[in-house]
Amino acid sequence: MKRIYGMILLAGLFFTMCAQESQKKTTISNFKNMEFNKLTPEEEKVILHKGTERPYTGEYLNHQTEGVYLCKRCDAALYRSSDKFDAHCGWPSFDDEIEGAVKRVTDADGRRTEIICNNCGAHLGHVFLGEGYTAKQTRHCVNSISLKFLPARQEGLTMAYFASGCFWGTEYFFMKAPGVKQTSVGFMGGHVENPSYEQVCQKNTGHLETTEVVFDPAVTSYEEMVKLFFETHDFTQTDGQGPDIGPQYRSCIFYSSLSEKEIAEKLIGILTGKGYKVATMLKPASTFWKAENYHQQYYEHKGTKPYCHKYTRIF
């Protein structure tokens, strides 16, 4: 009788384990079948393998634009800009999350609490309590590389795209210009989708290092943006910009409308009249592929000035 009872318990345990394993496999299977955004090797180190980006290097550390922060892996909304604060810790900090968006998991060592995207499991960072930074006594310490940003809809803003050599230097001057609300660096004009910086540096993707400029036309104008473009680089150089030689460093204005093209042509005509041999190309704007996080606002984070761009008044 004991033997039969033991066999029944063993069988029950076996079926329970099989059911749990089946449930586990189903969960993993469903998880793997979800469609995720393509990640770079740098992003995978943090998001999939729970790494940490270097402090004070993240794109969103000093980011103050109104909007929502999304998961880089699955685009789920995670944090509101209104909950972001400066904790002087080297990483973006939030004292609250969008309800149900973030899951807390105890680290393997039991010492810290990890935060992951509740939708896809992407590693975000860690959460700390009782530090006194805000009334909520909560700090979500998040890696910028785990996030994407969706700006709040702002009527009347205009985007412009400029390539003038190393995009670090191009962005440096535009981000400080009156009326500019936001800048990002990336690539435009090539034939490879979502290229990495390393791919573009191989000089065979057709992309140019490009800066996306979002400005308020009520404060400044597209013509002023184009003037700044010409006044902050050597637009007569044909093979690159300064010491940066290669097709990805050439001078180009990517226009989004006929009126933008006409403005650029008018200013090129003025420069030609002044005796300059303008090498700047004019091309219609195409898909803008944002570069890796460590390229964004590079000189702002580094605390230095461009080595191949300088301002020279011309107009």
- Asked whether residue 29 is assigned to any structural domain, the reply reads no
259 phi and psi angles, rounded to 5 deg: -65, -40
- Give the per-residue pLDDT at 66: 83
Q: Are residues 174 and 261 in the same domain?
A: yes
State the angle between helix axes of 167-174 and 222-231 in degrees (0 to 180), rounded to the nearest 10: 130
3-state secondary structure 143-205: CHHHEEEEECCCCCCEEEEEEECCHHHHHHHHCCCCCEEEEEEEEECCCCCCCCHHHHHCCCC
Q: Are residues 159 and 123 in the same domain?
A: no
Query: Based on the structure, what is the number of domains in the chain?
Result: 2
The alpha-helical segments, DSSP class H, found in the chain are 2-32, 41-47, 167-174, 197-201, 222-231, 258-273, 298-302
pLDDT in tens, 223-266: 999 999 999 999 999 999 999 999 999 999 999 989 999 999 99
Q: Are residues 297 and 195 in the same domain?
A: yes
Q: Are residues 173 and 278 in the same domain?
A: yes
Q: Are residues 121 and 138 in the same domain?
A: yes
Which of 106, 133, 150 is the C-terminal boundary of a domain? 150
- Give the per-residue pLDDT at 303: 85
- Asked whether residue 27 is assigned to any structural domain, the reply reads no
Q: Are residues 85 and 190 in the same domain?
A: no
Contact 281, 265 (CB under 8 A): no
* Burial label, 261 (beta-carbon count in 10 A; 0-12, 13-18, 19+): middle
Q: Which residues are catalytic?
A: 141, 166
- Give the per-residue pLDDT at 22: 33
State the angle between helix axes of 222-231 and 258-273 in degrees (0 to 180), rounded to the nearest 10: 40
- Asked whether residue 124 is assigned to any structural domain, the reply reads yes
Q: Are residues 128 and 250 in the same domain?
A: no
- Asked whether residue 313 is assigned to any structural domain, the reply reads no
Which of 128, 150, 172 is the C-terminal boundary of a domain? 150
115, containing H or E segment: strand 113-117
* Burial label, 89 (beta-carbon count in 10 A; 0-12, 13-18, 19+): middle
- Asked whether residue 162 is assigned to any structural domain, the reply reads yes
pTM of the model: 0.61
State which residues of the chain have pLDDT below 70.
1-34, 153-155
The tokens 């303008």 sit on which residue?
278
Rounded to an integer, what distance in angstroms lies between the CA atom of residue 231 and that of residue 89? 37
Rounded to an integer, what distance in angstroms lies between the CA atom of residue 174 and that of residue 221? 13
Q: Are residues 158 and 249 in the same domain?
A: yes
Buried b (16+ CB within 10 A) or exposed e, 12-50: eeeeeeeeeeeeeeeeeeeeeeeebbebbebbebbbeeb
- Give the per-residue pLDDT at 65: 83
CATH number at residue 137: 2.170.150.20
Q: Are residues 161 and 295 in the same domain?
A: yes
In the three-class reduction of DSSP (H, G, I as helix; E, B as strand; rest coil), residue 129 is classed as: strand
- Asked whether residue 49 is assigned to any structural domain, the reply reads yes
Which of 101, 126, 150 is the C-terminal boundary of a domain? 150
- Give the per-residue pLDDT at 6: 44
Task: Name the residue range of residue 168's domain.
Answer: 154-302
Q: In 10 A of CB 288, how many CB atoms? A: 18
- Give the per-residue pLDDT at 205: 95
CATH number at residue 289: 3.30.1060.10
- Give the per-residue pLDDT at 12: 44
* Burial label, 244 (beta-carbon count in 10 A; 0-12, 13-18, 19+): middle
Token representation of residue 47: 């998001």
Q: Are residues 168 and 259 in the same domain?
A: yes
- Asked whether residue 31 is assigned to any structural domain, the reply reads no
Q: Are residues 170 and 274 in the same domain?
A: yes
Q: Are residues 170 and 290 in the same domain?
A: yes
- Asked whether residue 21 is assigned to any structural domain, the reply reads no
